[in-house]
Structures are given as C-alpha cells and as structure tokens.
Structure 1
Amino acid sequence: MTEEIFFQGIQEVLNDPSYRMNMQRLSRLHRDAPMKPIDSALFWIEFVMRHKGAAHLRTESYRLPWYSYHSVDVMLFLAGITLLIFMTFAAL
C-alpha cells in the first residue's frame, strides 16, 4: 500500500456521497431501539435482583478449574507437541 493509494482511498470516502448515505442509514438502524440504554440497564439490574443473582444466566466457566479457565492445559499440550517436534528434528 503506497501513500498515493491510501490518499485516494481517503479522498473517495470523503467525497463520495454514497458512503455518507450508507453511514447515515446504518446510524439510524443502530439508534432504533425499543428502549434507551439506561432503561435497559435498569431492567437487567432489577431482573438480577428479582431472581436472586440470576444463576440461570451465568456461564458455566465459573465451575472450571483455574488451569482450564486460563487454558493452561491447552498451552502445555501445544508446548509439549512443539518440543516433541523440535527434539525429533534436532535428533536427525
């Protein structure tokens, strides 16, 4: 990517009206929500309070052992395979 190609791309985005119209359309879609964010936040806070912590919404990851949660077992497995491949090629 050269400076000229980059500059042409910036100029196209700034000067072509289709980019502006598309972004305005996407902005309207994004802002079209049934409730405001503060109302949504209040709803979920009250929901959790009504259902005493809402255990049914928790992910099951909190039950994993720490080494699985942080993928230590996967990293050790991959390190072992890498070491095995390295030692195999070093022995040749």
Structure 2
Amino acid sequence: MYQYPAPPPAQDDSGATASMVLGILGLVVCGLLAPIALFMGLSAKRRIRESGGYLGGDGQATAGVVLGAIGSAFIVLGLLILFVFVLAAASSGA
C-alpha cells in the first residue's frame, strides 16, 4: 500500500522568536524593548495565521505578546507614578 510522504515540518517564523527574546529582555534588562516585542509578536501571529500551516512558532509569538504587554503595562504604570510624584511636588510649593 502506497502512503503519501509526510509534509515537511513547519518552519518557525523568525519574528516569533525575536518577539519572545525581546519580551524577556524587556522585562529583565530594558523596559523600552517591551512595546517592540508586543508589536513583533502580533505581526508574527498574523503571518503564522495567514501562512496556512507553513509557518510555526505560534507559542513563541504568544509569549512575546504576553511579555511585551506586561512590560508595556509596567512602563505605563511607572510613567503614571512619576507623573503623580511630579504633580505632588509641584503642588506642595517646592
């Protein structure tokens, strides 16, 4: 009985891997990398979805999106706290 050959394994999207790495670095080293990881992860997920199974790495892209979102939230929270402190210092008559 003849069987069709197995399809080649899906190649991981390079943007998915980069997104995950930038997401980790955005949380650990430099927070400014987090929004880049979020953007790259969303782009990689779109490319993977549109590839019809030819590209893999959806888990890595998801990790990049999640880590990028957490890091971006930390940036927004830090800016909000800084704004409150500056506003409090300005209103205290300093």
- TM value normalised by structure 1: 0.32
Work out which structure has the larger RCO, using CA pairs closer than 8 Å and 6 or more positions apart in sequence. Answer: 2
Q: Give the structure with the larger helix fraction.
A: 1
- TM value normalised by structure 2: 0.32
